[in-house]
Amino acid sequence: MPESNRRASKEQPGSGFLAPCLATGLLFFVAGGAYGFLTGDNFRRQPIEQPIAFNHRLHVEEQGLDCEDCHPGCRSEVKPGIPDADTCLMCHAEAQGDSGEEARLVAMLARGESPAWRPLFRQPPHVFFSHRRHTAVAELDCGECHGDIGSSTTPPRLPDKLRMDDCRDCHLERGVSVSCSACHR
């Protein structure tokens, strides 16, 4: 008698709770999945705010500057380098035009600050990419990977996506090594 009582008291709350529990679980599961699916990309690609809305087209197409003038290592080093205050000061010790962004830059430089440019491309630490290898040795154009950034008027809001497949496609197309150790260590 006590045994059957216990069994009955076990079953009754169990059956009553099971359905709502399952339903709530399923709801969370679906909602979480949908949230992750819809916003996952944003977590990986946080929007990027640059200190100054740099106009690449004005510098490259209208002023005729070369990539190397501001990114000194783009043909000779592993990392191309991001321009520091000294680079900007070569031309912008005083305003060259009448743009508001330039005025902000000139004021910033006058205060002795360096614009904290934020990189658009970032590689995981196990990927070893050398700019020199691609620009000086393989003689690729910067635009092969960087797209038409040279003719953009405002900085891109989202970092560009470069995936291993992009690298691999290009390597296969040109008949260069696709051995893992060529890029990963």
Partner 1 sequence: MTRWGMVIDLDRCTACQACVVACRVENNAPPSGPEFAHQGRDISWIRLGSIKHEEAGNRPGLSLAPLPCMHCENPPCVHVCPTHATTIDEEGMVAQVPARCIGCRYCTTACPYTVRQFNWRLGQWPAPLDQGRNPDVSIRPRGVVEKCTFCAHRLQRARDRARYEGRELEPDEYVPACVESCPAEAMFFGDLDDPHSEVARQAASPRAFRLMEELGTRPKVIYLSKGE
1/180 with CB nearer partner 1: 180
26/127 with CB nearer partner 1: 127
Counting contacts by CB under 8 A, is residue 44 touching partner 1? no
The type of residue at 176 is V
Burial class for 146, CB neighbours closer than 10 Å (0-12, 13-18, 19+)? middle
* Binding map of partner 1 across residues 164-183, x = CB under 8 A, - = no contact: -------------x-xxxx-
Contacting partner 1 (CB under 8 A), which of 137, 144, 161, 168? Answer: 137
Counting contacts by CB under 8 A, is residue 162 touching partner 1? no
Counting contacts by CB under 8 A, is residue 163 touching partner 1? no
Counting contacts by CB under 8 A, is residue 146 touching partner 1? no
Binding residues for partner 1 restricted to 92-131, rule: CB under 8 A: 124-126, 128, 130
Distances in Å between the Cα of 160 and the Cα atoms of 4, 20, 67, 175 are: 67, 44, 18, 25
Contacting partner 1 (CB under 8 A), which of 57, 59, 132, 146? Answer: 132
77/101 with CB nearer partner 1: 77
Counting contacts by CB under 8 A, is residue 184 touching partner 1? yes
What residues line the site for partner 1 (CB under 8 A)? 124-126, 128, 130, 132-133, 136-137, 177, 179-182, 184-185
